[in-house]
Amino acid sequence: MAVHPRRWKLWRERRLVIAYALAVDIVAGALAAGAIAAIPVHSGDLFRFGLLLAGALAHREAVHRTESLRERAADNGPLTRLTSLWIFVAALLVPLPLVFAVTAVVYLHSWYRGSSGGLRCTLFSGAAMVLASTATVAVLQLLQPTGYPFIPRGPLGLAVLISAGTVYWLVNYVLMIGAVRMSDPLRPARQVLVNPSEQLVVAASLGLAVAFAVMLAEQPWLSPVLMTTVFALHRALLLPHFQQAARTDSKTGLLTAGFWREEADRELERARRLLDPLGVLMLDLDHFKSFNDRMGHLVGDQVLRAVADELRSQTRPYDLVGRFGGEEFVILLPGVGTAQVEHIADRIRERISQLRVLVDGPHNRPATVDGISVSIGAAVRPDDGDDIDRLLLAADGALMAAKAAGRDRVQLATR
């Protein structure tokens, strides 16, 4: 399917997404063709190109398993790939036609080794990188036109490198975020944007790229020493993904029941010390089993993710939102007493009732699911208990009362 363009999922996207993807591909193709025709390549350039290609392929092969694990952990979210550092190295060392050749090899090899995005996504990512590297070379030649290899020195050289690295990152970042946002307009913005820790990875990869460029230009046989640093960094990148996977539910990205309890115990201890109130909400999607039976579990999972996103958007950053299994969720609200908890719960109930979830319908055609409702039970410390077990029990009893009273409503444990 990947090598048959007519079967690509791209053609089932909205027209705006198709136009955007094709525009990026066409502009990148035109730039590449123009550069290949206009910019000469010399024998010395080919030697550095060969070293770059060898380093890029060795790097990609060595970290293939690590990258696969990171892709699965990211769950199709934005992901910084360190193998792209070789394209920035190429922009510093060789003319544009060879930069494009390195780009083509890196991304086609990624697709061949089973990148999760498939050939269509690989082509778009490669086209975005062609535009990013073209902009980078333009900045380098504009600010300090010294020819290749381009290894600027002194404070001015540092400023030029920082400017080039910023442009390289920004062009690719904007193009990729634009594609994600257009293809999934209902996705929350904070899930589209790359988190700050990933930005540190970008900065580290660009720093390594500069070090590689200097070494390949002046002492190429010392490059294997630097490769060990890259491999170690790749291994270190897995740690936060594993930590995140242990704390979060794979379907919704919310806290797991076990981790939620750990954090809730800490918040409860803090509330006792400060004599603060604390609210607990138990939520259950109404008739979700019959919905799963009717629409299928894959669509059900998409609805669960949409509900989880809405719960995150309707709570504060320090509130604890978790999934207790199935279609049941729990929220801990520090500092919230009886006067506020019902208002917060009813606002959440109302927002979920307004959800319109874009899902994959029959024959891979997008469909919209609405009419979702939720029943909510609420309990408050200290009126309904002073430990997590008692508060959960009180909130669960209130939830059962809300469902018995007709569902799609909020019930307080104290009533």
Place of tokens 């540092």: 158
pLDDT for position 14 = 62
Please give the full DSSP string across 234-270, using - where no structure is assigned: HHHHHHHHHHHHHHB-TTT-SBPHHHHHHHHHHHHHH
Phi, psi of 100 (to 5 degrees): -65, -35
Mean predicted confidence (pLDDT) in 101-126 = 77
Nearest 10 degrees: CA dihedral of 266, 269, 270, 273? -160
Structural domains in the chain, CATH included, are: 5-243 (no CATH), 257-412 (3.30.70.270)
Please give the mean pLDDT across all residues of the chain. Answer: 80
Distance CA(305)–CA(250), nearest Å, equals: 10
- Quote the pLDDT of residue 391: 92
Would you say how long the chain is, in residues?
Answer: 415
d(CA 325, CA 173): 35
- Mean predicted confidence (pLDDT) in 64-78: 57
Q: Is the dihedral of CA 25, 31, 37, 42 positive or negative?
A: negative
Identify the pLDDT of residue 343: 92
Each residue's pLDDT tens digit, 336-389: 988 899 999 999 999 998 888 877 665 556 677 788 889 999 999 888 888 888
- For the segment 300-305, the average pLDDT, to the nearest whole number, is 84
Rg (CA), the chain: 26
Residue 176: pLDDT band by 50, 70, 90 thresholds?
Answer: confident
